[in-house]
Chain A
């Protein structure tokens, strides 16, 4: 894949499902902060335009019926997205987008109802775990303040799968306290190993429950999300 748009800008597709509701925030954040060619792709399309990266935004695609992301994973655009992923394409799935990625088997695990049953909308501190992907390197050593907003955000994988994620360095974000310490109290939804975000084995696909697009300006309470969006663009090269 090459970065070959006329302006030399990275080309990114943002996929909209019925029930996506963080698409406008993503468009605003990316267009305000970066020079990119952003194209909107409706879920009924069978093909992706020629792009360097794909964003799956947050929301409640298909009303979260069956399970969050389950019906979206069967939508018409998904074979093209899977083919893009299989060619090493870069994908960023945020919140419901993360659920779509796990339900599509592009990332392992499942996002389940929060342990406390409640929908949680609050800032979370994300410890960046050590690893070798572009995301890990770009964000190394940081603790990022990024909001979460989900009812079904409890990442779950069985023990054997967790070990694989650890061994292959796929865990990117863990819920932590403000100092970056992973404590019992700093797990808002009961996620396995406090996991808030993981990458694929090739490091090109990131799924995360927190919303970096909502923390893209100091006026919003935090601009740490900008670093994550920047790291996504760095994976396009």
Chain B
């Protein structure tokens, strides 16, 4: 089964890429554009049942895919 992990910066952490993208798009005249937040998406294929798979994915996300000093993550089965 496939699982998705989304990793994003905590709100209080400066998102330099998001800021640069936002500023550029704004400069192109898209004045309605507020903020832009960049995240990372991982798709993991894991064998076994869903409960076990999701548990493993959550463990991998917490320990490796995200650095929880500055990032949060969410996991779901696709």
Residue ranges of A at the interface with B (Cβ–Cβ < 8 Å): 66-67, 70, 74, 102-103, 108-110, 112-117, 154, 156-158, 161, 190
Contacts and interface: CB of A to CB of B under 8 A. Distances in A.
Nearest to B69: A110
Contacts, number: 35
B17 A117 contact: yes
- Main secondary structure, interface of A, reads loop
Contacts of B64: 66, 70, 74
28 contacts: A66-B64, A66-B65, A70-B64, A70-B67, A74-B64, A102-B69, A103-B67, A108-B69, A109-B69, A110-B69, A112-B13, A112-B14, A112-B16, A112-B70, A113-B16, A113-B17, A114-B16, A115-B14, A115-B16, A116-B16, A117-B16, A117-B17, A117-B20, A156-B13, A156-B69, A158-B69, A161-B69, A190-B14
Contacts of A102: 69
B5 to A, nearest CB: 12
Contacts of A115: 14, 16
Interface string B1-21: 000000000001110110010
A108 B17 CA distance: 24
Contacts of B13: 112, 156
Contacts of B69: 102, 108-110, 156-158, 161
A117 B12 CA distance: 18
Interface residues of B, number: 11
B39 to A, nearest CB: 14
Contacts of A109: 69
Contact of B70 (A70, A110, A190): A110
Contacts of B16: 112-117
A157 B14 CA distance: 12
A117 B17 CA distance: 7
A115 B17 CA distance: 9
